[in-house]
Amino acid sequence: MGKIHFGTGGFRGLIGEDFTLENIRLLARSLVEIIYRKNLKKEVVIGYDRRLLSLEASAEMADVFSHNGIKTSLANTDSPTPTIIFETLKRELDLGFMITASHNPACYNGVKVFTKGGFDADVCFTLAIERECETLGRNTSLRREVSLPISSFDPLKDYFQFLCSFGKGRLTHPIRLAYENIYGTGIKVLEPLFEHLGINEFLCLHKERDPSFGGKVPNPIPKNLEELRTIVLKNKLDVGFAADSDADRLAVIDEKGNYVSANEILCSLYYYLVVILKKEGDAVRNLATSWCLDKIAHKAGFSCHEVDVGFKNITRKMLETNALLGGESSGGLTMRGYLKGKDTAFAVLLFLNMMDDLRKPVSHIIKEAKDYASYRSFDSEDVCYLKKGKEKVIAEILKNKSPHFASCIVRKDVMDRNIRFLFRKDEWCLLRLSNTEPCCRIYFEMNSLEGLQKEREELFSFLRKEGLIEEE
């Protein structure tokens, strides 16, 4: 039986190795101990997505809780992760659970844990779960002989009403769009949302369940959106949207077929809120997100706060600073007053409201936000697979060595699993080690595409020379 380990987005593991029904029972049994020891509310909700074993794992988890005296409600259908965040908040529970591996490949599954208020569980709590799992070992016997029935609930109805309350109702002019579902759960909310907004012309791709996600990684990155791009261009649509498998990330294709990065989505929405709608409030981003957001905030008279990777860090900083909008370069965002978690449907609602108010093509809206910030940067995300065992040494190597970047290194920051090189003119490079996969995510923000390509080539040459990554 593999080990239960939590990363920035919950527990994730390979199906049949770390993610097994036996491990799910152990995880639930460990949580029972924590609930009783910490005197937490003895009631939980559990949801699940469309992945392999998601339904079965949710049933196993519910069984353990119910037979240990914990009032348990299990979703009666698959649904997006934000529905369970909402349900945890609505019921004023201390704990809620979602069976999902989010955007990971189909061979993964996992569990996201939400605490009081609908926040992602913090590191202290997830470490406590890991320690309890180690203490119990394979002992998943009942803590006490108290058995309660498992109830079912509709995860969509109340959540959908809550979601729609943040929009302005039906749009005032026609918008034609397509939505790439990538066989995920987003269709359960996005299709009704389009109808609610009065959108008469929309196409939804890959609505059906397919645990293999059509052979793709269910992450809305450019290489997975060629079909969506083709449809937008062929049908002369105004916009294309896409979500990951549990519908908490958003990607956009503009009317010209261009991929709109998560950074551009976040910056344009913040621009729309503080410049066009005149709303007040700071912004929050993680350290892998564009500094364009900072420039918009400062020009509008506000601040932008940087936090470590992990959406829980964004939402907690938003609460601390009463920030208006928070988001990250991987495609997640939320707004003050909404859920303490990222949500594709909410981001789509906000984006469509922006399009309706500005009545400009998406490409023009993105350019307008960048022009406001006087910003012309490019951003990139690469994933390079590390050689086995190299995950633990890359930070140590980069503490003492640096690639021969053409740009002058102003400062090098080594922060846990993150290594960031700061250059002049607000340019930077970030290497971030994944907590869930043997890979390194690389981000650049440079003032020219040529400069980005040059520095990327140098970085990859250095990593190969040091024997840290597999040969391309």
The CB-side HSE value for 450 (13 A sphere, CA atoms) comes to: 0
Place of tokens 């369970």: 84
Which one, of 319, 273, 267, lies nearest residue 293 by Cα? Answer: 267
Predicted pLDDT at 304: 98
Considering only CA atoms, which of 434, 347, 374, 420 is closest in space to residue 163? 347
How far does the chain reach from its first CA to its final CA, in angstroms?
A: 33
pTM: 0.94
Distance CA 401, CA 461 (A): 13
pLDDT of residue 145: 61
Per-residue pLDDT at 142: 66
Name residue 339's beta-bridge partners. none
pLDDT of the residue at 469: 83
Contact partners, residue 127, CB within 8 Å, separation at least 6: 6
Per-residue pLDDT of the chain (472 residues; tens, 9 = 90+): 678 999 888 999 999 999 999 999 999 999 999 999 999 999 999 999 999 999 999 999 999 999 999 999 999 999 999 999 999 999 999 999 999 999 999 999 999 999 999 999 999 999 999 999 999 987 767 666 678 999 999 999 999 999 999 998 999 999 999 999 999 999 999 999 999 999 999 999 999 999 999 999 999 999 999 999 999 999 999 999 999 999 999 999 999 999 999 999 999 999 999 999 999 999 999 999 999 999 999 999 999 999 998 899 999 999 999 999 999 998 999 999 999 999 999 999 999 999 999 999 999 999 999 999 988 888 888 888 888 777 778 878 888 888 999 999 999 988 877 899 999 888 999 998 877 677 888 999 998 888 999 999 999 999 888 888 875 5
Contact between 113 and 121 (Cβ < 8 Å): yes
**What 3 state SS string does the chain have?**
CCCCCEECCEEEEEECCCECHHHHHHHHHHHHHHHHHCCCCCEEEEEECCCCCHHHHHHHHHHHHHCECCEEEEECCCCCHHHHHHHHHHCCCCEEEEECCCCCCCCEEEEEEEECCCEECCHHHHHHHHHHHHHHCCCCCCCCCECCCEEEECCCHHHHHHHHCCCCCCCCCCCCEEEECCCCCCHHHHHHHHHHCCCCCEEEECCCCCCCHHHCCCCCCHHHCHHHHHHHHHCCCCEEEEECCCCCCEEEECCCCCEECHHHHHHHHHHHHHHHCCCCCCEEEECCCCCHHHHHHHHCCCCEEEECCCHHHHHHHHHHHCCCEEECCCCCEEECCCCCCCCHHHHHHHHHHHHHHHCCCHHHHHHHHHHHHCCCCEEEEEEEEECCCHHHCHHHHHHHCCCCCCCCEEEEEEECCEEEEEECCCCEEEEEECCCCCEEEEEEEECCHHHHHHHHHHHHHHHHHCCCECCC
CA atoms of 342 and 96, how far apart (whole Å): 16
User: How far is the C-alpha of 228 from the C-alpha of 240, rounded, in Å?
Assistant: 7
Partners of 72 in the beta sheet?
Answer: 44, 150
- Give the pLDDT confidence score for residue 199 in this predicted structure: 97
> What residue ranges define each of the domains in the chain, with the CATH number in brackets?
6-155 (3.40.120.10), 160-373 (3.40.120.10), 378-465 (3.30.310.50)
Name the β-bridge partners of 110: 12
Spatial CA neighbour of 261 closest among 455, 269, 215: 269
Determine the Cα angle at 30 with ends 434 and 22, to 5°: 75
